[in-house]
Amino acid sequence: MNEPKITVGASITESYRFLAEHMPHFFRLIYGPLFLWVLVKIAEQILITEYDIQIKNNYMLHLFTAAFAIVWYRQFLLGADHATYRQMLKNGFSGKQFTLKRFGRMVIRITIITLALLVPTLIISMSIMVYYLGQGVHFSESVIQELAVKSTFIVMVVFSPILVRLSLYTAGFALGRTSLSFRQVWQQTRGYTATLWWVAIRGFLPLGLYSYTTTWLLTQVMERLSVHYILSTFLIESLTGFLTFLMLAIVVAANAEAFRILVGVRDGDVPHRKDAKQAKTMETTHSRREPPQK
């Protein structure tokens, strides 16, 4: 029996190809989250500018991106008929009724993951804080925020090889595979840590750099032209949100391709690959039946 194989180049190529062939579905799925993204950022700027009320809405933005990631997994692995936000809100794709046992398991898993990331973050934060105290640094709000960002970044880098392997569990969650466990995902991805890590980097880094550069340039233009802050926020956040969802679509599809190869889908293959194989078979059959030209 042949062992499953996954390569960085093939996964990224499949991801870009899938996005190019399903752009109408991509726009269909980002329309709502992108609208909410821009609305939240405009409301945030109005509160700061008009009422001097500062509210961080990053958690709401994470909710929008997480919802898109789940339905894009469904788009890749099951097809457009199964990739809707209505299904996600109705039954979480599982198709099973709510039970305290299932809810308890979910809470335990979230708690374990949170503690696994939070404890190292706190240790690193305290270590940096002790170092800063030794240097005589005054702890202002900006310094504390910078410290939190640095600590989180260090933890994410250190634990990224583990996180990329366990990230395939997200695909199983999107499919409603309640029987799929972290242990099974860990076993199925054994030997592919470096490959999955490079897939995530290749999917994220190019578009991430492009998004940062483009957004920064647009921000500079808005400031030079003294554009009204509401219009400026609308233009900047529309671009930022669009590029974020675009980048997420690439990463999610590459991750879904890895899930297809290493874990597998119940129907044997994903719909868009079936359609491509059928089209290729029909084309080959037609060319064989076609009489030779005289």
pLDDT band at 56 (very low <50, low <70, confident <90, very high): confident
Taking the alpha carbons at both ends of the chain, their separation in whole angstroms is: 47
Q: Indicate the SS3 state at residue 23.
A: helix
Structure-token pair, residue 228: 């009204």
* 249: pLDDT strictly greater than 80: yes
The predicted structure's pLDDT at residue 279: 47
- pLDDT above 70 coverage of the chain, percent: 77
CA distance 144 to 139: 6
What number of CA atoms fall less than 13 Å from residue 113's CA on the CB side? 13
Which whole number is the average pLDDT over 7-31? 94
Range of weakest confidence among 15-24, 27-36, 51-60? 51-60
The predicted structure's pLDDT at residue 3: 56
Exposure of 22 by Cβ count < 10 A (0-12 exposed, 13-18 middle, 19+ buried)? buried
CA distance 219 to 221: 5
Angle at 260 between CA 14 and CA 162, to 5 degrees: 95
pLDDT band at 60 (very low <50, low <70, confident <90, very high): confident
> For residue 11, which of 1, 23, 19, 22 has the smallest C-alpha distance?
19
pLDDT digits (tens, 9 = 90+) for 259-273: 999 988 766 667 777
Rounded (10°) angle between helices 141-166 and 193-224 = 140
User: From the centroid of its chain, how far is CA 287?
Assistant: 41
Buried b (16+ CB within 10 A) or exposed e, 251-284: bbbbbbbbbbbbbebeeeebbbeeeeeeeeeeee
pLDDT digits (tens, 9 = 90+) for 137-156: 777 777 777 777 777 777 77
Rounded (10°) angle between helices 23-51 and 229-262 = 140
CA distance 30 to 68: 7
The predicted structure's pLDDT at residue 282: 45
What number of CA atoms fall less than 13 Å from residue 130's CA on the CB side? 5
CB 85 within 8 A of CB 268: no
Which whole number is the average pLDDT over 111-119? 62
CA distance 265 to 242: 29
Ordered alpha helix ranges (H), the chain: 8-21, 23-51, 58-77, 85-91, 100-134, 141-166, 168-175, 182-188, 193-224, 229-262, 271-289
pLDDT digits (tens, 9 = 90+) for 192-241: 999 999 998 998 889 989 999 999 999 999 999 999 999 999 999 999 99
